[in-house]
Every structure is written in structure tokens, then in C-alpha cells.
Structure 1
């Protein structure tokens, strides 16, 4: 039986600290609805005297840079999703100290729904970004600085979406899909009068890649290759041999329609189970959207017709298995600039 305490007396309990960081019932406080705002509730002298203030810190506690927690007096999460305050208020409700401020009856308590802010008690020491390279943003330091500054400029001119249809994936697109374990989307396309298979929809790099073996199979001339300044490195830090870049007319076709676009490929000499890697530059240029769940890629034709391109699941699995056998598969590349202009 809980003993009542005199008003203003300091509570002797310590706030419960969750032992694990997983979203379980044990480390998630019960959410109570109060008829006063939480900021006003913790400011009431009788309530404030029973709360244990958290230790002060200058670190951001959470993922949201603009959210402010009145209880912690730091940014990172809001007071509604504050775990430390939630546990203490839960204890006070169980001790029958906040019955005059509750909206719901005592038996109607529910576990708070997990939110992305529930990991806010882990201090954020820094941020890790992805590596990138290729043509996006330029090849030199000054070009990339100009590109980075342009990110802060709000574009006022809208895109011309007059003939662009909605690219939607529905349940009907799953009818011809064999159940898979996160298979990559691998398609075929036509370039220089030849149909090229084993094209990976990568979306993880900022450059479109053609491998040297594919370049030779297409019987392309070295006169078409333009020099590329800079060095490329794979994810493990090994240097990748760059032969240059080439721009080719590439056609994406299906029974519905087709679309041709000029795509600039970076030609590299490295082992790969794929012939070409299509990444963000090409996909954005043709306005394509790929779905690994539906094993398809869709893009609009110039006439406004949706072009569905189905991934070959047998080729997808075969390429993935072969990529694991290569000694140094190219997973991602980054650029080392030669210097300023």
C-alpha cells in the first residue's frame, strides 16, 4: 500500500532506468493524458518537488535538431516523447500523486506507441554521411564547392510535369514476382545497336558506370572516350582504374513504349558481375523509379506513357552470386581531386 506524503516533501525514489535500448514494454513508459500541458504540469511546485531533474548536458539528445525538451533543457526531442520524464510521471501516477491532473480513469492506461524519438537519451556525438564521386557536383574542388553552395538556394522554377504520368506500384505488379530475399533490380537495355543485359539499378552512387569488359564487347572506339580527371577508390580503399567517360544513346523499351536518352558513363577497369551500373544521374534524367519489392522499374515516355521494365530474377540472383565470388567487387566509389582549378 502506498503511503501518502506531505505536500512539498521530496520523493525518495530514483527514476527507473531501462536496461536495454530495444523498444520493449519494460523500457517504454505508460502514456497518461493530463488535462494540463506537460510544461505547465512540471512547473506546478507540488509536482516539480517530486521530480528528479536530469543531469545537465550540452549534447544533443535525439535526432530532431529543432525539437526542444523543457525537462532536459536541450534539443533533440520534445517533452511529449521524453522518456526520462515519462518514467517519473508514471511513478507519480502509480503513487496516486497526480490523480487530480489525469483525464483518463486509472484502469485505462496503455503503453505509449514507440516513436523515433525514443532513442533520444543516447547522446549524438557526430554524424556520418555517405561517400560519393563521379560527375555529380563536378570533378574539381571549386566545382564541388559551387555545387554545395547551390544546395542552399531555393529553386523557384518548377518542373514541367505536363506529360509526366504518375509512376505507381500496385499489388497487380506483384503477380509475376517470385518471392525473394531482397534481390536487386536487374534489367536490359539497348545501346549502340546492341541489347545489354545485367544492368543493375544501383541508386547508391552519384555516377553511372560502364565496365571495361562491357566496353570491349560493345566494340566501341577509344576515340569516343574522353579523359576523366581524378582518381576513383572502391569502398575498401583500393584504387580503381578509370579509362575515361563516354556518352551513349541508351534506349529503354517495353511492349508499351520506349524512351531514348544520352547517358554519360564512367568507364572503369574493375571486376564486376554486372555490365553497367545505372545510378542517380541516369535515373533522374529519365525520371525512372525502381522498386526492389516489385522487381520492376518504371519511367515515363516523352508521350506520357508509363514504361514498365521487369527485372529478370534469374539474372538478378546469378549476378548477385557472381558478385560475391569476385575478389574486389566495386560497391561504392569516391573521388580524390587532383587539386584546384
Structure 2
């Protein structure tokens, strides 16, 4: 009877006699597969097939001196198989700043309804609900920073209540827009303009940060003579910081901004359809970074809130 190997799909030896298959099984066992088929005290990782004699060979035809059942070509090499490693399970999740109004509201029922809305595929596949934006690209001409080999945060200037507010941090990992209490006072906003809000926000390690309230303001983003104004709902936080304002995902999405950290720039479309560009200020970004490393020291030039050039004050 002709011998056939199902592993090589060729004649010459049986599957039980296949040395290549035995070595492949041992390789998979060493890689951690087939654990439930291997005894713990079996360190050889050998399969339980009968051993193959290294001297066994197909019989010869005595008249011609040729081996019977031997293919004309050499035996093909064993098929290569990629063994996918098993990744270890995650030990946990590290989040960014979360809370506020980005999840649909402050109550758990509203947030659950918001989550169900996102998970419903009917709400995200209809073309008439799809948001449309003009193409936005970045080129080498957008490298405007002082130091191109940088890992600086994106820090810009915006206009709030007819003030030019510098040291505004762009944080794409934050679910809230934050106006710090010191900045609130510098803007000379009345206490009655603030709406009470006692829901905390959560930082990187899950720590709670209390809020004083919230306020709705219109923010102007300027690129030369062109501007774009959007409404932003700020949470007001009384905390020591080197920044005046933190702009998170809600305001960036409302603005339609695309941020490029290598270029330290963000682009968005104007009401007329032009693409506007705002560049980050590396000097102020590094000042804020250094101040945040030494919070116990007095922060120099932290406020950086001034009237725009049209109505500058001293």
C-alpha cells in the first residue's frame, strides 16, 4: 500500500512517520499551545506518536536500484506557519481629564442616554446626519516655531470679552473647557454671570477637582484680519495653574479645528470658507511648562490678559 503524508500532501512516508510534523508540534508546544494535551511532568514536549526510525527508508527496486514510491523532486520544505503570540491582558485604563458636559450632561441618566445614542448605528450611518468639513492639510510651510525639534504643548491666544487672553492650552484629551478663577476675575466678570454647578471633573489619576460653576462666553479666534467666533460653555475651576484657559474637545469640535502638534498649529474654516491657521507660541508654552514643574515658586507673567491692540490698556 502506498504511503502518504497528510502534512506534506505527498507520498513516501506516512503521517505518523513524518519528522517535520513532529518537530512542528514540538515547536507549538514550546510556544505555549496545546497545553491541555501535554503532561506537566513531560519536559521533552514529544508527541505520543510512535518514534520514527532514522534508518527507515522506502524499499528499493532491486532491478533498477531505485527507491519505490519516491517522488522525482526532493521533498518539499515544511510549510511555514506564523504563530500569533498571545498578548497579556491589560492591567487597567488610564484616562484623561473627564467630566463636564461632553457626555451629554451631568446626571447619570442623561449620560447613559448619550451612550446609547452613540452605540446605535442608525444614528451614525445616515448621510444627512454626517458632518462635512473642507479638506485641511499641513505642509512644511506650516513649521513656524522657533525650535523645530520640540515636544511643546499647543499654547495660543484668543479674545474673550474684548480681552486678548494668552497662555490658552489646547488639550485634545480633555472633555471640558476650563476657565480658571484667576482669569475669571481678570476678565472682570460679575459673580452673578456664573451659573452654579457642583459636579466635579476628574484628572489623570482619577482625582476629583471641584468646580465653582459655569459660564457661557463667545470666543474669538483670530488669523490676521480674519476671525471666527464660537460660543463656549466654560467650567470655572479655582486651582493653581500656569495657564489662563484650557480648551478641550467641546470647543475644538465646535470650531472644527484640526491640530498638528509637529507644526504647533491648528487650522479651521472661516465663515467665508477660507482656512484659517493659528500657531502656538513656543516661548509661552515653555514658560508655562517650567512654571508647572515648580508650583511652589511664584509664576511670572502668568496672567497675560490684555486688551486687544484696538483698545489696549496698561
Range into which the TM-score falls when normalised by the shorter chain:
0.5 to 0.7
CA distance in 1, matches of 2:174, 2:250: 9
RMSD: 3.3
Aligned to 1:80: none
Aligned to 1:224: 193
* Pairing 1:174-185 to 2, within 5 Å after superposition: 174=143, 176-185=145-154
Aligned to 2:89: 124
* Pairing 1:37-116 to 2, within 5 Å after superposition: 46=18, 47-51=20-24, 52=26, 53-54=28-29, 100-101=76-77
1:143 to 1:99, Cα distance in 2 relative to 1, 3 A: farther
Aligned to 1:28: none
TM-score with structure 1 length normalisation? 0.62
Aligned to 1:136: 102
**After TM superposition, which residue ranges in structure 1, 4 or more long, deviate above 6 angstroms?**
none
* Pairing 1:286-305 to 2, within 5 Å after superposition: 286-305=255-274
1:257 to 1:72, Cα distance in 2 relative to 1, 3 A: farther
Classify the secondary structure of the residue corresponding to 1:223: helix
CA distance in 1, matches of 2:75, 2:150: 51
**Do residues 199 (structure 1) and 168 (structure 2) align?**
yes
Classify the secondary structure of the residue corresponding to 1:50: helix
- Any stretches of 5+ residues in structure 1 without a counterpart? 1-6, 9-34, 37-43, 58-70, 74-97, 105-111, 328-341
Total equivalences in the alignment:
238
Q: CA deviation at 1:121?
A: 3.5
CA distance in 2, matches of 1:309, 1:99: 67
TM-score with structure 2 length normalisation? 0.67
Conserved 8 A contact 1:257-1:305? no
Classify the secondary structure of the residue corresponding to 2:120: coil
CA distance in 1, matches of 2:206, 2:125: 40
CA distance in 1, matches of 2:75, 2:265: 56
Conserved 8 A contact 1:256-1:306? no
Give the number of the structure whose alpha-carbon radius of gyration is greater: 2
Aligned to 2:242: 273
